[in-house]
Copies of this chain bind each other. A is one copy, B any other.
């Protein structure tokens, strides 16, 4: 594997999950692998879990992480081809990506979507520019349309917590006041489609994810119906894809409650707004496995970095 920028880069999710579990049991086993190698973590946006867990993963492999908040620490980056750069951007991605490749053995990038320019976001222009112009492997730490480190984490977590061989997994939209990206929902959907689970999506009308992502996954507009006999309810808000980036619905009836959940386990990528997305009674009980899920971020990242280091 050269880059890891999408769930599609996972060749065999079952063997990846197995490897990640082995890493989790013995996280320092491959400490020599990354010796004298640097991981550059470039953040165009805020991050807590990704920032910490990816550094931890790098340290477990003996790598030196170097963190940079691109927006605050460096220069405005230009992505346009042929631009006359007489505006606010001071450095072109062609130079930026090539230059960072001189100092870092792997580049990890977080760059959220605009949520206003659908074509630009769908083109993954930031991530793909890094892939095009960096001379080293690129890892997606959440891009415009995907968050594959999270999706891999979620697959590992479901594998660990499932009590039946083929659990029913529901991805449920939940209300939120702000316009949020589709990245987590997309990568989770793609991960579930690769696993041996019964997977359905629940979201209000007008909130279907991109059909290129959902493919033939059943989509319910009735949450109760979707949740029936669920083993896992993965919750996430996203803004409308059809009315791109708009908040058309904040219906509190879609909030996740203990009552709705029944015996299902609650999952969320975090951060989560309590009593808006999900009620306290879920998060504060054993129904929730969000912290165990967050813990797996380390091993998902570590597996990805290990595979890249072994390939280099």
Contacts and interface: CB of A to CB of B under 8 A. Distances in A.
Contact of A48 (B55, B73, B86): B73
A183 to B, nearest CB: 16
A83 B274 contact: yes
A92 to B, nearest CB: 5
Interface in A43-60: 43, 46-49, 51-53, 55-56, 59-60
A64 interface: yes
A94 B284 CA distance: 9
Contact of A102 (B55, B78, B291): B291
A95 B272 contact: yes
13 contacts: A38-B55, A46-B74, A48-B96, A49-B99, A51-B73, A53-B102, A72-B72, A82-B280, A83-B274, A85-B274, A92-B283, A95-B291, A98-B294
A312 interface: no
Chain A contact residues: over half helix, strand or loop, or mixed? mixed
A64 B56 CA distance: 9
Interface residues of A, number: 60
A99 B291 contact: yes
Given A91-B271, A177-B86, A73 B102 contact: no
Contacts of A47: 73-74
B75 A48 contact: yes
A270 interface: yes
A68 B52 contact: yes
A94 B268 CA distance: 14
A95 B270 contact: yes
A276 B98 contact: no
A129 interface: no
Contact of A291 (B98, B271, B275): B98
